Amino acid sequence: MVYSANTNHSTSTQRTSHFSLSRPLMIILIIGSLILTIIYISHQGIIVTEIFTAGSARNCLINSKQIDQNCHWYFLNYTPSAWESSWTDNIEQLQNIVCETLTNIDNLNKSALAVERLIELQKFGRNQTESNKQSSDIFLSRMVYQQKCINPITNISSRGVIVSQLIEPLIGLLRDPLTICNRVNTLPASAYEGAILQSKRFFLLSVAAPFYIHSSTPSPNNNVPMMITSNRRNTNLLPWMYQRSKLNSLDVETDIRKGQNILIDLGSSYFGNWNGDTTAGAGRWFYEYYKRFGIKFDRIIAYEYQALNPKTAWKQLPDDVFPVYTLINTGCEKSGKFSPWTNLKAMAKPYDHVVIKLDIDTPQIEGPLINEVLNDSTIHSLIDELFFEHHITVREMGKYWGNPPGSLKDSYILFTRLRQLGIRMHSWP
């Protein structure tokens, strides 16, 4: 280290000149050395991330205190996989042959491998580093974040490492690619286990998603799988999951404020089922997914238009959900007190982790609500994970959705733009 060399040199000078230096000069030299030490240490405080090769360490631990005082993560960009880009670039041509394209040998193999990997991650999360399915990560897309730090003494800012975190790609009908279309007997029967209409196998939430640390702009050749532990409340709640806005990048009170985990379920039905179908229930699915990784919701707000039996609704709640659950048994509105965004802005802060599911089967309300998210930074800066069933006209979904306005291309554009804003955007089945 440069400083160690300077220190040794100073010490050597003091030893050889001990009898020739006056006491005041010795004191000045000692004090000067201490000042240099303090300046050096404070300057090094800017560097709070270590990058290891896969062979030297499995975990990359970021000093929590340094992060809270000096550093912040913000969203950098969205990087689609090559598989996703092939669909996005050709979606106008593929609009009318989605199933034919999904079941060709290339897409079929990619779908099977991607689904298998996502099922594994939903179950075990990113901590299972010895997976033999990790090679399938090449099919997944990425949300990219960068760290920015500021030295509290010198007030000099610097950009830290870049992190890319995986997310399921936007392909096919934007849902589990082994559903809807006819099954192909070239795949083993196990590939279709759980491939039901309301399949949620194709989701990858940030609490389970692997991420990679990069020393510079991400590229497939410099990926090093890592795990960061920096949040005092829960190690699976990564810092960019609640502090990804440049607007409050120097907010040093994030951890002190103990941000909330909030779920807003728009079109909730009962907590455990939708029209009696337990596979379609959203509340319990989110609850169990997050609980699997040790994370509890501090608030759950459920909106439902259809009249629910209050006793049935409340009886379905687990004991630890009961105190934090709010049921608003009336429909969402585009504005006013029944607008979910009015309530979101009133209750949530940028340092909260917010999950939204929007599926009220009413396009004339869903459309304006999702457009508000897209165009209003005071809304989209609060949302971390967003699930939305976008009803459009496409042959394969005609018997479920009919012929509402819009095409599959519109869905691709919408979902991509929301991901480009830093929201982990998912297509609800």
Q: How many CB atoms lie within 10 A of CB 271?
A: 26
Determine which of 13-27, 151-165, 356-370 has the lowest per-residue pLDDT on average.
Answer: 13-27
Contact 241, 293 (CB under 8 A): no
- Which residues face 386 on adjacent strands? 356, 425
Question: 249: pLDDT confidence band, cut at 50, 70 and 90?
Answer: very low
Helix (H, G, I), strand (E, B) or coil at 301: strand
Q: What is the mean pLDDT of the chain?
A: 81
* Burial tier of 55 (Cβ tally within 10 Å: 0-12, 13-18, 19+): exposed
Question: 69: pLDDT confidence band, cut at 50, 70 and 90?
Answer: very low
Strands 299-303 and 353-358: unpaired
| Tens-place pLDDT, residues 109-122 | 999 999 999 999 99
The pLDDT value recorded for residue 426 is 98
**Cα gap 84→70, rounded to integer Å:** 36
Q: Is the pLDDT of residue 64 over 80?
A: no
| Tens-place pLDDT, residues 292-332 | 999 999 999 999 999 999 999 999 999 999 999 999 999 99
| Tens-place pLDDT, residues 39-49 | 443 443 332 33
Mean pLDDT (whole number) for 419-426 = 97
Q: Nearest Cα to 266, choosing from 170, 350, 209, 342?
A: 342
**Cα gap 55→224, rounded to integer Å:** 10
**Cα gap 254→235, rounded to integer Å:** 15
The pLDDT value recorded for residue 157 is 77
Structure tokens at 369: 């609500």
Contact 33, 7 (CB under 8 A): yes
Mean pLDDT (whole number) for 193-217 = 90
Whole-prediction pTM: 0.80
Structure tokens at 21: 């230096």
Higher pLDDT, 153 or 77: 77
Alpha helices by DSSP H, 348-425:
363-375, 377-380, 398-401, 408-420
